[in-house]
Structure 1
Amino acid sequence: MFIYLTLYHLTIAPSIKDIHDIKLTHYQSERLTKEICATILKKRDHNLTWKALGSATSAAVQHGTPEVIEECISTYPDIIWYTEKGFHLSLEAITQRQEQVYNILFQSDVHKAAQANLMDKEEKENSLHKAAKLAPPHRINVMTGAALQMQRELQWYKEVENFVEPSFKKAKNKNKKTPKMVFMEEHKDLFDEAQQWMKDVSASSTVVAALIITMAFAGAFTLPGGNQDDGNPLFLNKGTFMLFIISDTIALFSSTASVVMFLGILTARFAPDDFLYALPKRMTIGLVFLFMSLAATMIAFSATLALVLKDKVTWIAAPLVVVSCVPVALFGWLQFPLLIELVYSTYGPSIFRQKKNE
């Protein structure tokens, strides 16, 4: 009992303490921010408030600290219009790809309409030009793989494109380039990487799925135990044999569907907009069917061995179940994070969650 409690304190307690320390630090930071904002506001000096809160919001948007921006705007709403040396709060939020900051700034239609007309006079760029540029490395690397990074960039571009004025979509910057031209130029290397990543994953998965098709198809005609003189399978009346037939059928059809989806990716046109929905959808479906086919193949294999050996080795079923779970678990461990990220990024809630107007 003493050893158990010691191990508990060494493993569980430090983790709980770390969480407590993080929450305490966050709470203290929020309280400190509120006190600083309140103290500055009590000075009743517009220039001091403007400079102090403006510099704070400028630093917060670059480091992705939405709590500071929210508190500054709550304390002094006009700070949302803070500009200095080409800095615009909303334009910087788009440039830095800070979706939480973006959601705070565009939480009402009034602010959204006003912010949509902002221009970087030095570069002659509007919001869509900023969204067309490549995200900073520390922000683009939050997604796994070049394809998902390209998808996130398209999501930003489409989001900003939805609220800017129609004339801004074809407006030219000081280099005589429209937002679409800037997007294609800035994302050329990422687009090539995303295309190659999609092809590599699809090609590798197609080989695996094709091997499963071969095994499942052969298994349908080479039944365990063979056939009787009348042509009927020897183990036709056994429940384990039905499990083999069902799992082999699922393996065959799911692996075939997986190959079809991956071939659809390999033969796709690979237009930039396809990375927004079409290609991730095919990749998601292909990986799901590939996982199903692998799991069904392992079940069919285990059922076959159980049928053949159960009269000789009565305890064979339990070890077979454990062994067959190993490759399925390995596939899940290696591929499920990518699959979950694909599903969440493509079908999950949008990262742009504006609050309702009050």
Structure 2
Amino acid sequence: MLFLFAIAIPDIVLDFLHRCPRFATTMNEVLRTNALIYLSKMPQTFPSASRLAFWQRWIYSCIPMQSIATTDDNVRINMPDQSLSESKNIILQVSSKLRGFAINLLAFLGIKQIYDLKKIHIYSDKILRCMCEYISTLDYEEYIKADVHRAFHKAARNGMVEFITEVVKACPHVMTSADGNARNLFMSSIANRQEKVFSLFYGLESNRARFVCLMDISRNTMLHLAAKLSPPSQLARISGAALQMQRELQWYKEVESIVNPTDKDFLNQNDQTPREIFTYDHKDLVVKGEQWMKEAATSCTVVGALIITIMFTVAFTVPGGNVQETGYPVFKDEKSFTVFIVADAISLFSSSTSVLMFLGILMSRYAEEDFLKSLPTKLIIGLSMLFFSIAAMMVTFCAALIIMLDGRLQVIIPIVLLATIPVTFFMWLQFPLLVEIFVSTYGPGIFNRKMKRWY
């Protein structure tokens, strides 16, 4: 099979398709598949379906790639000169060792893997364009025989935006095709929670209306499909049942905003409205989300309460004690004492705020709509204030040491460095969760409503 070697040797596949483009749609009668269908099952070969972290995306964008030579390009091959002097041979050997060390270092840092991924993406794009160029020349019978629409809908289920757009450019009529469940491109993207494919809807401009009113084989509208529970593979991408519930609500609200108002109460084959389906399918996820929120809030409440107790006590047991005659602190005129008392107040007030937020989470009613904004917002405020309180508590501790040790830096500096360890560990463990919740709640969203016209 042609594409069994696509990832390992994409350059050979590209060259082969340039020479024999008909193999793109030549059907294997035993497996009932061809190269185009096989490519539609490989989402990892295209950028839109790749799941990269923020820092990986940054590295990906910074990696330079040379243009890929095709069969029409002139390729120059440099042969090594056998008559090199001994000194030049030594230089070549050293440079080869350094190059090997650099490659191993890049592999250790994960940069080489990102480079290889980008290389595969570029080759896959070239291969896809080569296939689509040939597909555009097929007549109707050849198009049916090639089973282009099956490859198209597999790509939609796998979230392969590049595949979809290129095939549509080659065969515009594929946009009106449906899969085995009578679902069009956008209905399939909703059912499989492929937000990048669904965002193509916003690039249709005047052609949107004809897709909104369609139903599948079970008389489900777009909103019915959005009301169903996401596939487990898509839910697994999101950490925490509460955030999973939030994502489900975001999908439902997004689709609800584009459908006709009458579709909100439309009955499907089982006489169910979209809202009834959503409530029934998500009742277990609501329970899990409530449990996840309460466990997180309980753990953080204990930490916050301990900080409140410590900081309140510290405010009345200042380092150095008080003057007997006046009752004022001995070091009240020292700058380090000002830092001490301000940091103590910040830690006390921020930890008190965090505890109140977490108590609000524990006492929430946990309705479906609460998972969209209310609960995540309380968790964001609670975690943020807890971070501030722990950091301020460490500053308070360091300021107290400076006062008591009277500026002995050889002791103060190591202790201060050690004091940063718990703050660093806490941030390292919890800060990614805080960022994920904030981006999910107040970020730009998973849908691109500013999609440019592409069809």
TM superposition score normalised by structure 1: 0.94
Shift of 1:52: 3.2
Match of 2:177 among 82, 87, 93: 82
Quick check: which one's helix share is greater?
1
Number of the residue aligned with 1:152: 247
* Distance change >3 Å, CA 331–CA 13, structure 1 → 2: closer
> Which residue of 279, 283, 291 corresponds with 1:184?
279
What is the aligned counterpart of 2:298 among 193, 200, 203? 203
| Counterpart secondary structure, 2:421 | helix
* Residues 80-89 or 173-182, more deviating: 80-89
2:127 alignment partner in structure 1: 32
Aligned to 2:188: 92
Does structure 2 conserve the Cα–Cα contact (< 8 Å) formed by 1:112 and 1:163? no
Task: Return the match for 2:115 from 14, 17, 20.
Answer: 20
**Residues 57 and 68 in structure 1, CA contact (< 8 A), matched pair in contact too:** yes
Please state if 1:67 is matched with 2:159.
Answer: no
The alpha-carbon deviation at position 140 of structure 1 amounts to: 1.0
- State which structure, 1 or 2, has the greater radius of gyration over its C-alpha atoms: 2
Task: Classify the secondary structure of the residue corresponding to 1:163.
Answer: coil
Amino acid corresponding to residue 211 of structure 2 in structure 1: Q
Structure 2 equivalent of residue 166 of structure 1: 261
Q: Distance in 2 between matches of 1:353 and 1:289?
A: 32
Q: For 2:400, what is the secondary structure of its paired residue? A: helix
Alpha carbons of 1:256 and 1:4: their partners in 2 closer, same or farther (altered >3 Å)?
farther
**Are positions 1:246 and 2:338 aligned together?**
no
- Work out whether residues 217 and 252 of structure 1, in 8 Å CA contact, stay in contact via their aligned partners in 2: yes
1:337 equivalent among 432, 435, 452? 432
Q: Distance in 1 between matches of 2:344 and 2:382?
A: 18
Deviations 1:226-268, CA, capped at 9 Å, x for gaps: 1012111111111111111111010000001101111111111
Structure 2 counterpart SS, 1:221: coil
Establish whether residue 46 from structure 1 lines up as the match of residue 134 from structure 2: no
1:309-349 deviation per Cα after TM superposition (whole angstroms, max 9, x unaligned)? 236x5422211221111110011111011001001101111
Alpha-carbon contact 2:182-2:215 (below 8 Å) kept = no
In the TM superposition, what is the alpha-carbon distance from 1:6 to its structure 2 partner?
Answer: 6.8
> Residues of 2 paired with 1:194 and 1:48: CA distance?
51
**Within 2, Cα distance between the matches of 1:113 and 1:350?**
23
1:132–1:182 contact (8 Å) kept in structure 2: yes
Residue 311 of structure 2: aligned partner: 216
How far residue 19 of structure 1 moved from its aligned partner, in angstroms, is: 2.7
- Pair 1:257-2:353 in alignment: yes
> What CA deviation, in whole Å up to 9, does each residue of 1:116-160 have, x standing for no partner?
11101x211100000000001111111110011000000000000
Within 1, Cα distance between the matches of 2:436 and 2:134?
44
C-alpha RMSD over aligned residues:
2.0
For the pair 1:304 / 2:400, whether they are aligned, the reply is: yes
Question: Which residue of 2 is the match for residue 283 of structure 1?
Answer: 379
The residue type equivalent to 2:125 in the other structure is: E
In structure 2, stretches of 5+ residues that fail to align are 1-93
Amino acid at match of 2:311: A
Alpha carbons 2:161, 2:196 under 8 Å: kept: yes
Residue aligning to 1:11 = 105
The CA deviation at 1:9 is 4.0
> Which deviates more, 343-352 or 314-323?
314-323
Q: Give the C-alpha shift of residue 46 in structure 1.
A: 2.4
Q: Is the 8 A contact 2:103 2:112 kept in 1?
A: no
8 Å CA contact 2:226–2:255 kept in 1: the answer is yes
Call closer, same or farther: CA 1:334–1:281 in 2, change over 3 Å.
Answer: same
- Number of equivalenced pairs: 355
Match for residue 73 of structure 2?
none
* Cα distance between partner residues in 2 of 1:4 and 1:325: 38
Q: Do 2:135 and 2:170's aligned partners in 1 also have CA atoms closer than 8 Å? A: no
Does structure 2 retain, via aligned residues, the 8 Å contact 1:37–1:53? no
Q: Report the residue type matching 2:377 in the other structure.
A: K
Q: Percent identity?
A: 41
- 1:28-80 Cα offsets, whole Å, 9 max, x none, are 1111111111111112x124335633112111122221110111122222211
SS in structure 2 opposite 1:125?
coil
2:294–2:362 Cα contact (<8 Å) kept:
yes
Residues 1:268 and 2:337 aligned together:
no
2:235 and 2:228 mapped to 1: Cα distance?
12
